Structure 1
């Protein structure tokens, strides 16, 4: 049996039309007391990429303390999921190079870019996707750089 659908938490309107709806499960806490919630907060969830900013925080803190001087674009690709576009892979390649590493050091696996044009460009060039294209490679690169 499928779990019940999570409640719609956000509706995005474009004029008179609902453009998109986003379901959510959330709880609000004050200290050790839950003061509000929506959805089935007792059901197990797998945060996956939603946890990425928290996972990246340790690496960002260490890199800042070491004077790594990260640019805003690098911080963004570290703390998010990216689409494997050239801008993303170039940022990650540069980050790794500054740490004396390259894409072969990544162990996050490889998949085709999520950005359709970037994926088509790889096919046209007969190049295989690499770990640099993996949507989590920015976070992994930062972990390696520490």
Structure 2
């Protein structure tokens, strides 16, 4: 499980959950959930958009299994057929793709993630964390074009 910003940089990575584990349960057990719910994350301070005086709150964009919170946006349930809700959910899913693209870039740069790792679980965790740190450093040193979001 990971949290990334609009520039594909990993802000938080939780490595080691079972592959088939439900995302909602993994979220409940991770440190980031505790830090955010106790308001100690430092990620969610409101900011003004460019040329605007009114602060806008930050939100985490998540999948449907996550519990709805004031700081978390998730799509409407599939049972909702209202066109405006379908459009909102579609646009939110496009925003959610950023974290998926972060993993895609990670896999592209580190080919070890294109196959099954034949290592001990603890070694795999360390390799994954190392790769995420190197991914962030590479993005800092060689930023991707067209992602100038501040």
TM-score greater than 0.5 by the shorter chain: no
TM-score by length of 2: 0.27
TM-score (norm 1): 0.27
Larger radius of gyration: 1
* Greater RCO structure (CA 8 Å; 6+ sep): 2
Structure with bigger strand share is 1
